[in-house]
Amino acid sequence: MNITKEQIDELNAVLKVAITKEDYQDKVDKILKDYRKNANIPGFRKGQVPMGLIKKQYGKAVLVDEVNKLLQDNLNNYLVEEKLDVLGNPLPKQQDNFNWDSEELAFEFELGLAPEFEVSLKTKKAIPHYKIVADKKMIDDQVTRIRKQYGKLVAKKEITAGDEVTGTFVNEAAEIEHKTTLDLSKVKSKKALSALKGSKPGDTVTLKTKGLLTEDYLLASTLGIDREQAEDLNIEVEFNIEEVNERQPAELNQELFDKLFGPGNVTSEKEMRERIKEDSEGQFQQQSDQKLLNDVTEQLIESTQFDLPREFLKKWMQTTGEKPLSPEEASDEFERSEKGLRYQLIEGKLIKEHGLDIQFDELKEFAKGFIRSQMAQYGQTDPKEEDLENIAGRVMGNREEVKRLSEQLMSQKLLSLYKEKANLKVKEVNYDQFVKEVYG
Strands (E) across 23-97 are located at 86-92
Give the pLDDT score at 184. 94
109-113, 166-170, 213-217, 251-255 — which is least confidently predicted? Answer: 213-217
Give the pLDDT score at 114. 96
Please give the distance of CA 333 from its chain centroid, rounded to a whole number: 20
* Amino acid, single-letter form, for residue 134: A
More confident residue, 125 or 304: 304
Residues in the chain: 440
Average pLDDT on 258-273 reads: 94
Give the whole-angstrom CA distance, residue 252 versus residue 234. 42
Q: For residues 167 and 200, is the Cβ–Cβ distance under 8 A?
A: no
Give the pLDDT score at 314. 95
Give the pLDDT score at 94. 85
Give the whole-angstrom CA distance, residue 59 versus residue 32. 7
Give the pLDDT score at 402. 94
- Residue 71, C-beta contacts closer than 8 angstroms, at least 6 positions apart: 17, 19, 107
Give the pLDDT score at 110. 95
Give the whole-angstrom CA distance, residue 5 versus residue 312. 16
Give the pLDDT score at 211. 94
Band (pLDDT 50/70/90 cuts) for residue 35 is: confident
Q: What is the pLDDT of residues 377-396, one digit of tens each?
A: 787 878 889 989 999 999 99
Residue 224 pLDDT more than 80? yes
Q: What is the pLDDT of residues 293-313, one digit of tens each?
A: 999 999 999 999 999 999 999
Residue 50 pLDDT more than 90? no
CB atoms under 10 Å from CB of 303, counted, come to: 15
Band (pLDDT 50/70/90 cuts) for residue 97 is: confident
Residue 358 pLDDT more than 90? yes
Q: For residues 86 and 79, is the Cβ–Cβ distance under 8 A?
A: yes
Q: What is the pLDDT of residues 343-356, one digit of tens each?
A: 999 999 999 999 99
- Which run of H or of E encompasses 218? helix 218-223
90-99, 146-155, 400-409 — which is least confidently predicted? Answer: 90-99
Q: What is the mean pLDDT of the chain?
A: 93
Q: For residues 338 and 308, is the Cβ–Cβ distance under 8 A?
A: yes
Give the whole-angstrom CA distance, residue 154 versus residue 139. 26
- Which run of H or of E encompasses 88? strand 86-92
Give the whole-angstrom CA distance, residue 98 versus residue 68. 14
State the Cα angle at 334 between 328 and 339, rounded to 5°: 155
Give the pLDDT score at 414. 96
Partners of 198 in the β-ladder:
none
Give the whole-angstrom CA distance, residue 363 versus residue 369. 10
Partners of 210 in the β-ladder:
none
Which domains are delineated in the chain? 2-113 (3.30.70.1050), 152-248 (3.10.50.30), 266-306+354-439 (no CATH)
Give the pLDDT score at 413. 96
Average pLDDT on 189-217 reads: 95
**Nearest CA among 145, 122, 168, 439 for reference residue 299:** 122
Q: For residues 222 and 182, is the Cβ–Cβ distance under 8 A?
A: yes
- pTM of the shown model: 0.74
14-28, 48-62, 150-164, 264-278 — which is least confidently predicted? Answer: 48-62
Band (pLDDT 50/70/90 cuts) for residue 37 is: confident
Strand 104-113 and strand 86-92: pairing? antiparallel
Please give the distance of CA 54 from its chain centroid, rounded to a whole number: 53
Band (pLDDT 50/70/90 cuts) for residue 54 is: confident
Give the whole-angstrom CA distance, residue 231 versus residue 220. 8
Residue 434 pLDDT more than 90? yes
Give the pLDDT score at 361. 93
Question: Rounded to 5 degrees, what are φ and ψ at 151?
Answer: -75, 180
